[in-house]
């Protein structure tokens, strides 16, 4: 249900995040972990962010919510509903308009009853009753403590806590690892239903397969940059429809496509790469790839590769 022409709910342009660190003695250095990252999310849309460990997915979420550590430096533009997300605006919107579905139930307070946790600071008893009903949490759940919940119930409590208000953007950071498949499937259904209500969902995951089942579009991260953003249909179709060699490699690595891995590893955070971040592992690399690569529109998606067709 993505309407054309309406401004995006979330719009990120050329985001860069670096950390100030002390080297030996008093010398400081800047460790850049995200560079020139751009994405947009429309109302009613699930954008999945896929990419290997350390590619910058969680830091992106933290930058949107304004919860990066104090030695982080952020540049570029972050807009929510057309207006710049300043730190004071982030503080105002966090937990209300911009919410996080945390990865683990350890985020629940073990000593607090579920009802009070779900209501938080801004949910009424009436709103709590509505989300309990929506997520099939019986009224007896209200008086329970986290240790008394089953795995499935705990996941539903996390989602209910995040969406009790009128959140416009829901960020789910790796909501499924270690979950029973049925519970993971249910969590995905909840995210889909929230998007179908007109909210925007950013789903961070390692699993391209999972992203293919639930998302509308997928953004692929590598070494702190977006290398490709494309409609989910292209990722389902596979190699020929995809634009970036790394997206193709992710697709090839899926079990049903033969687990073909590529040698090498992602550049370390902070290692400045002057040209394409993927060049060191790319099979179609040429001289040209040592020069900076622009993000370009191609066949209804965007890609950062000078050889993409």
Applying CB under 5 A, the residues found at the interface with Ni ion are 57-58
- 102 interacts with ligand ATP by CB under 6 A: no
Among 10, 12, 15, 33, binds ligand ATP (CB under 6 A): 33
Considering the complex, what minimum distance in angstroms separates the CB of residue 218 from ligand ATP?
Answer: 15
Distance CA 309, CA 303 (A): 10
In sequence order, what are the residues at sequence separation of 6 or more whose Cβ sits closer than 8 angstroms to the Cβ of residue 273?
A: 223, 267, 279
Nearest approach, Cβ of residue 249 and ligand ATP (Å) = 16
Minimal distance, residue 204 CB to Ni ion, in Å: 6
Give me the least distance between CB of 71 and ligand ATP, in Å please.
Answer: 7
Sheet strands side by side (includes 83-84)? 28-41, 10-22, 72-80, 83-84
Binder of residue 69, out of Ni ion, ligand ATP, none (CB less than 5 to 8 A by kind): ligand ATP
Give the nearer residue to Ni ion in terms of CB position, either 57 or 119: 57
Binding partner selected for residue 145 from Ni ion, ligand ATP, none, CB under the kind-specific 5 to 8 Å limit: none
C-beta closer to ligand ATP: residue 30 or 196: 30
Whose Cβ is closer to ligand ATP: residue 29's or residue 189's?
29
Min separation Cβ 173 and ligand ATP, Å: 7
Min separation Cβ 58 and Ni ion, Å: 3
Residue nearest to Ni ion (CB): 58
Q: Which is nearer to ligand ATP, 141 or 266 (CB)?
A: 266
* Tokens standing for residue 159: 């989602």
Count CA within 13 A, CB hemisphere, residue 14: 4
Q: Considering only residues 232-291, where is the footprint of ligand ATP by CB under 6 A? A: 269
Pattern 37-66, ligand ATP, x by CB under 6 A? --------------x-xxxxxxx-------
Q: Which of residues 56 and 245 has its CB atom nearest to Ni ion in the complex? A: 56
Q: Cα–Cα distance between 70 and 78 in angstroms, integer?
A: 18
How far apart CA 262 and CA 283 sit, in angstroms, is 10
The closest alpha carbon to 109, from 67, 154, 56, belongs to 154
Binding site for ligand ATP (CB under 6 A): 19, 31, 33, 51, 53-59, 69, 206, 269
């Amino acid at each position: 249900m993505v309407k054309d022409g309406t401004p995006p709910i979330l719009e990120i342009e050329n985001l860069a995040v670096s950390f100030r660190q002390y080297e030996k003695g008093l010398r400081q250095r800047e460790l850049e972990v995200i560079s020139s990252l751009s994405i947009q999310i429309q109302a009613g849309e699930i954008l999945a962010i896929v990419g290997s460990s350390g590619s910058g997915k969680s830091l992106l979420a933290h930058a949107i919510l304004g919860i990066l550590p104090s030695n982080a430096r952020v540049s570029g533009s972050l807009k929510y509903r057309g207006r710049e997300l300043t730190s004071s605006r982030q503080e105002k919107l966090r937990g209300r308009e911009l919410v996080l579905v945390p990865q683990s139930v350890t985020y629940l307070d073990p000593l607090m009853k579920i009802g009070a946790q779900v209501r938080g600071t801004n949910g009424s008893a009436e709103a709590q009753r509505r989300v309990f009903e929506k997520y099939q949490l019986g009224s007896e759940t209200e008086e329970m403590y986290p240790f008394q919940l089953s795995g499935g119930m705990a996941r539903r409590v996390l989602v209910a806590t995040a969406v009790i208000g009128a959140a416009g953007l829901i960020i789910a950071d790796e909501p499924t690892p270690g979950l029973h498949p049925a519970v993971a499937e249910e969590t995905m259904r909840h995210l889909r239903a929230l998007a179908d209500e007109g909210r925007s969902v950013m789903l961070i995951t390692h699993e391209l397969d999972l992203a293919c089942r639930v998302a509308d579009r997928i953004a692929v991260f590598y070494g702190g940059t977006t290398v490709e953003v494309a409609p989910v249909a292209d990722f389902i179709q596979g190699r020929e429809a995809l634009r970036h060699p790394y997206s193709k490699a992710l697709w090839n690595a899926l079990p049903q496509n033969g687990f073909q891995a590529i040698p090498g590893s992602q550049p370390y955070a902070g290692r400045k790469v002057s040209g394409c971040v993927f060049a060191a592992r790319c099979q179609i690399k040429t001289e040209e790839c040592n020069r900076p690569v622009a993000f370009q529109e191609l066949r209804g998606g965007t890609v950062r590769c000078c050889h993409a067709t």
